[in-house]
Structure 1
């Protein structure tokens, strides 16, 4: 006998699904698992894979191990490993439970989670339903804990210390299980043979017997009568009519006692993975067929419908999700006509699309991330059953935009590229839909620092929109603004300014002067002007955006405006004002996106730099070290956004006198910029301006002069002779030249720097400048 199946084992941190009170047998496998994990072994993670065909009880065996031996662990965590998004989501929830600093999308936090697990050797992670080693390799935990994998794949040569086959039950085990239901009538052996000793089919039969208060003989008679109905139906490969018969019998009976139960099971079978958030169907009944909508229209009705399916073991009802075995899903779909499959697949697509927020940047709706694994699988199912590409592409497009807003750039790219392919290959392509996906891909490629691809897709999107909608269409302005962003990053600043200015004019004509979209375009124009050294004009543009966003628009955009104004005040050497605006931006983003979101980290990087300039260097280094750790966890090793953090950190380390560390960090930043932007990009020069003084302090005066002269040349070639970025380079270069006896040139650079500083503040109305109100 088991303990109460509702009581979890003793680990403080545990998310095991409910224990199966009917679990029986498998004593030898449980013993071998226990011996493997208990015996001394090599340092590092101990792992075992349970493999076997569907329906043999791999998941139930892993679950039983967790309950029997969970008292030996501090952490026992169950992860749905059928898809990458499910793995990332499971690990993110574990990070929540371990109090890893919060972030709003799953993949960001895994590195910090591993650091936590290294400090806790007593943990067990269960990856349920993994496809193979390739699927798990990048999510494999370090440390001295244990990993248990269930899979249909027998090949685990590298990750698992041992792979154990899980076979069908022996006939004796099958008979013992059935005789617990109805002993002594001599039917158990024959029925076990009918069911092929498959544990899942035996469990299904047991649920039917219990629900109908039948004898085994009565069940076997019904089974043989019903099998004739399904023998001609399409069936899951490898299971014959045995499994289909047991489930079709149960489905009909559940639907008889609760009309609509069958429809709910069908819907769940088209929602992709076997784990569906419990609230998903009931919260959006308006997109469901009438019979199903009536069956789950109220909370009480929904619970009764779920209970009917649970009674017949067609699903497992957890507090926050409904779990349907993949073979049940296959059987349900196989029992439908082609037309029915297409109709239900389309219903699932509509349901999932409605579950995503209409405003993908709405931080309050980001819990919808839980459904993203379902989206990928549901689109695959819909495509396999002949659903037209249009609805599939629409859901992929919506989900891709949503994931980009959540900083899950790689997944967003895959989904949007797939959506684009589908939309382009329609018999009669919808050009505007193609343009929308191209525009969405622009933002993703920008975030991935693939500027060539970003410009290519953005120009295609702009050409389509202008041709189809005219040059003054509001969406033309949005795409033109995106093109300005791409050109700005490619350092084609005048072209970027022209595009951004035109986008702002279109938005003003379309929406009026005080609309949030106007604030967006004013912001992007301000950034271009700032990069071009036109600080007074840039400040005007950003203050205009601020006035609008103080009244309308979300907090995320308001924080962005505060960041850009803070950067301008830093360049204008009003560090007090810069700090106040950047602090406000950080407060907003921490409260809405969380402290570990990439956008929050970016503003903290600039705040750290300003704190350094105000003389709080140790505090700045602490802030920047944390920011570097976060960016290294979330971005590719050579991403230019990481290089920005490294430049600021290297500068702060230099000011603390940690010169060797500073040089190493700044050289890494320079190399990243050279690889991603080219040797002559201004970002490279920005890293060189900070590297030169470090070289001087380390005794390499000649190298420092060469480094700073190169920075000056890059700035002059890109910006002309009087850009604000040149002033800092001249100020660093002048004392080095003076030390070498080149005093006239040094004096000239000092005078030039002072002249640039005077010109940049000219036109700024300081009387009109006020610090941001505290919020």
Structure 2
């Protein structure tokens, strides 16, 4: 493929004593040091006796050296490049010298964040700071070598005129590096898309250091998805992440012209860019799609529902080269990185898939039950302990914190996870997280979803977990619940899912997260009804716990209706004296009391107390609890003396059975004080 030409600019003819080589674009037209720059063509004229062109001015590139038409500036990132390359004195390497100092700057981040466009913007803004710029496509080793050979031909035309027919890459690299070492001006060299720099065993592995000039007069920028490039230099580099909200909104409008811009539309666009995680390429593609879809231009509110239905298809759309200057879809870019990770570390690739079944934020190592102290894995009491998440991630080896940290480190190298500022947890871009799930076929989703369910179940039932740890766990429980609900068949639900989900629903209830508890408990009821029918004992038990959560949410009418149904069915199936029937009566009485139906509640509680006395005995905790509940209802009826006498008796029994320090004993003391007006 020849360097890009502008059709309206014909090839430049020079005298017999000169050689013409076609380079790439430069916006000016001038003659300087033997170089004619006109339009998008660089014509190089030299004396036939010269060995090299010592005063090259302009650019070498096979791409358009300006950002896309819809580009929205990110000035803070551009300034980071400028500051590190221009404002920091000295050389990156020991013994460096020269007025400007050799500097290598890594511009790294997730595929689709706009790294290339950012560097193109930098080049356009600061092109006058450089004598010449050389843009090398570094996605493949072959493209790097092609471009370096072309640069060699540009810099050493006399050798070609002397009859040199072929150029060996090693000769070209040495000659080009030596050419830069003789220069005193400032030059810029960009290695764009250098992603294959981590795995030396990869056939496409790129040893960037071999190709880079050592001259202190050269600024080198490397754009890459790999964080490894950051370690090649003393400069901190530029991490290109999400756009800020206003930049993302502006980019969507630039890409979706001629869509109108008003307050109502801007609010909806804000929701769209948030859903897209403020990722530049995804926003650009979405805006382009809208611009070519008249029904969406007329009513942008239709985009988000369509995106949620067709997320994988829309993110998989291939950008148009002429419009986006990019040939890969968002998903193709990430899939390429995933395959590189898989070659380097199978465990890291499995971890990436596994994380798609947890929450994308605050992924902390303690979640995995890992300790830096040597210890064996404790046996799990999960109902499906044979589905070990440890075995999924690291088959045939004992998973420990060191192995897990290695996996996270590989994912971080490829920008799939980012270590958070507290250094104790990781996060994923929300679209990467969604892609990790969407890329799997339905049958491939089963095992990681069950493995992640086992993981959160173990964390939720860990007796060492404190209040903060429990709250921190809940987003991962809910993300896994969503994945499990979508990926499991009904038969698999009963075998693997419903029991742990009931436990997790109680966990959410116990830490006060009632909306989340309701979602899980309602799902369990629905699945039991579908699997067993609405009179099965498991269905009734699930309905009982759901009613309690509704009551705690203040939805007493709904709770009473469900609990009444449970009581009637248990009476018919189990009988009046069965403990589960009595428990349903007890729960219904509590709900009626919350509704203000104190007389009806008191009558039902007296019946519960009598039956528990007869069946369980006076000292049973169930009987004592029934006494306490009855006392509270009597108090609400205004019968303070009766209530205080019963609570005093409850306190004595709880002290004797549970002890002074038990929370139930302490709660009874508090209630007695309230009743007595203390």
- TM superposition score normalised by structure 1: 0.43
Q: Indicate the structure with greater helix content.
A: 1
Rg (Cα) greater in structure: 2
- TM superposition score normalised by structure 2: 0.48
